[in-house]
Amino acid sequence: MGKTILITGGAGFIGSHVVRLFVNKYPDYLIVNLDKLTYAGNLENLADIEHRPNYRFVKADITNLQQVNTLFHEYRFDGIIHLAAESHVDRSITHPLDFIQTNIVGTVNLLNSAKEKWQGHYHEKIFYHISTDEVFGSLGKEGYFTEDTAYDPRSPYSASKASSDHLVRAYHNTYGLPVKISNCSNNYGPNQFPEKLIPLAINNIKNSQAIPVYGAGENIRDWLYVEDHAKAIDVIFHQGKIGETYTIGGNNEWKNIDLIRLLCRIMDEKLNRPVGTSEMLITFVTDRAGHDLRYAIDASKLKNELDWSPSLTFEQGLVLTVDWYLANERWLRHVVNGDYEKYYEKQYQHR
């Protein structure tokens, strides 16, 4: 066996793509997936690799220090790729404490366990923390986030992620823990929970329901296909420098309303509906509180130092995504359960 790697949040959207990539690409590694299986965690995401000899799943909660310590006693981890988090901005506005607990306390538990268990072996270990571009705040019409941009988080979600980034850096500076951090832009692709814009819109269009666009739809996001993010994580984990930060982006900025219109055209074609049918579902609703205007990434450090760049265009990635959701009705039915319906009703009823 080669390395033993702990991936946290591996049953979630991005985590499941990272787990699959590592299990397939590194048959001599043991991949241990720690996940609490919250509403966002779904083992169906990993059904194709669950019986592989180099894969283990452990149901545990990173906010529970005892559970984390037990796992560190059971396995001799060479590296950690930490993705477990509460990840939806709207939920952070209604339930900020859940974000403080998992994103901050949970990250510190992992840092403490690694610090103690890896004592004397720091030179051969990696603690890789996965973060978001939202920690940098909101851009105006011009400019890009880089690794040197000052932090300016503006939602409970981004503030909790910023806090966890600071703590990861603090453990590096104070204790010498060997860390790496990356901050990525908006991901999209298969297995994303349909509370996030793209899968929510696909699901609603499929069911001929309103597509809720916040405000005037003028907010801008940079979008990256999830498998390209997983590849960047692989490259940074293996070749990135200890103590460094890398920003990851798709070089692919879209106004929400333009993105939704493109998605509508793709859905009309895929569902054999007359052109314009899906666009009629667009409904402008009350804006998100504190809605960040624009995110955009300058990923040239990653390109220049580690030769990573996105492999798909947005149109290619969106078609793959739409095809996946239309072909995986069972997956969608299972995640859009009673709890989600209640959340959806509450979230959108007064907008």
Judge whether 128 counts as a catalytic residue. no
Site map (CB under 6 A) of ligand NAD, residues 2-41, x = contact: -------x-xxxxx-------------------xxxx-xx
> Is 213 among the residues that bind ligand TDX (CB under 6 A)?
yes
The residue within the footprint of ligand NAD, chosen from 130, 179, 200, 299 (CB under 6 A), is: 130
- Tell the smallest beta-carbon distance from residue 119 to ligand TDX (Å): 32
> Is 200 among the residues that bind ligand TDX (CB under 6 A)?
yes
The residue within the footprint of ligand TDX, chosen from 15, 137, 212, 240 (CB under 6 A), is: 212
Judge whether 133 counts as a catalytic residue. yes
> Is 63 among the residues that bind ligand NAD (CB under 6 A)?
yes
Residue 248: phi and psi, rounded to 5, are: -125, 130
Judged by beta carbon, residue 75 or residue 284, the one nearer ligand TDX is: 284
- Tell the smallest beta-carbon distance from residue 35 to ligand TDX (Å): 16
Judge whether 134 counts as a catalytic residue. yes
CA distance 238 to 300: 18
> Is 155 among the residues that bind ligand NAD (CB under 6 A)?
no
> Is 195 among the residues that bind ligand NAD (CB under 6 A)?
no
By a kind-dependent CB cut-off of 5 to 8 A, residue 41 interacts, out of ligand TDX, ligand NAD, none, with ligand NAD
The residue within the footprint of ligand TDX, chosen from 35, 61, 134, 228 (CB under 6 A), is: 134
Alpha-carbon dihedral sign for residues 298, 288, 88, 208:
negative
The residue within the footprint of ligand NAD, chosen from 31, 139, 184, 299 (CB under 6 A), is: 184
> Is 191 among the residues that bind ligand TDX (CB under 6 A)?
no
Considering the candidates 35, 86, 134, 165, report the single residue annotated as catalytic.
134
CA distance 193 to 129: 21
Judged by beta carbon, residue 273 or residue 288, the one nearer ligand NAD is: 288
Considering the candidates 55, 144, 157, 188, report the single residue annotated as catalytic.
157
Residues that bind ligand TDX (CB under 6 A): 87-89, 132, 134, 186, 196-197, 200, 212-214, 219, 221, 256, 288
Residues that bind ligand NAD (CB under 6 A): 9, 11-15, 35-38, 40-41, 61-63, 83-87, 102, 106, 130, 132, 161, 184, 186-187, 193
